[in-house]
């Protein structure tokens, strides 16, 4: 049935619930699961310019961008959920519009199911632009599973 599943994450509770659903479904169907984090260009430009100093185990410090720090934290959460669920995932990052990123990734990677949360970090923008889940449902050439919040 479904062999390649894609889910989009933005760090919100709703997207992490969608991630858990995608991994659970992938495990049940023995399907691969790809996780896509799409960074809006405005956020990318703002957060890459801000450095964070992180202490290292050997007592030295390391400079990374705020974006890299947030991305690392998100990826750690994704890997922890995948480990907890007992199913591997592949994590990808794109810069751009979330809907366009998910739809393009779906087409270029032969994805046959997209799993998204019904809302995420863009709640205010959704009132004007429409939600990512709505955009993916309308633009995707494959089945889309929308996960509702609790």
What is the percent of the chain where pLDDT is above 90? Answer: 60
> What is the reported pLDDT for 127?
45
**Tokens, residue 104:** 């393009």
* DSSP, res 148: P
Q: What pLDDT is recorded for position 48?
A: 63
Task: State residue 75's pLDDT score.
Answer: 95
Q: Minimal CA–CA distance to 16: which of 6, 7, 27, 25?
A: 7
Question: String of b and e for 35-67 (b: at least 16 CB within 10 Å)?
Answer: bbbbbbeeeeeebeeeeeeeeeeeeeeeeeeeb
pLDDT, one tens digit per residue, over 66-75 is 777 788 899 9
- On the question of pLDDT at 58 being above 90, the answer is no
Is pLDDT of 129 > 50?
Answer: no
Residues 6+ apart with CB under 8 A from 48: 65, 66, 67, 68
């Amino acid at each position: 049935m479904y062999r390649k599943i894609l889910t989009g994450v933005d760090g919100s509770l709703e997207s992490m619930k969608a991630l858990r659903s995608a991994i659970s479904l992938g495990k049940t169907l023995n399907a691969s699961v790809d996780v896509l984090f799409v960074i809006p260009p405005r956020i990318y430009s703002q957060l890459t310019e801000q450095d964070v100093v992180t202490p290292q185990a050997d007592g030295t410090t390391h400079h990374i961008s705020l974006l890299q720090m947030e991305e690392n934290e998100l990826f750690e959460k994704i890997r922890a959920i995948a480990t907890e669920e007992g199913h591997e995932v592949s994590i990808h990052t794109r810069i751009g519009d979330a809907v366009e990123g998910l739809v393009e990734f779906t087409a270029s990677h032969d994805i046959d199911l997209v799993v998204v949360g019904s809302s995420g970090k863009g709640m205010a923008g959704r009132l004007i632009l429409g939600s990512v889940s709505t955009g993916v449902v309308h633009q995707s050439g494959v089945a889309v599973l929308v996960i509702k919040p609790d």
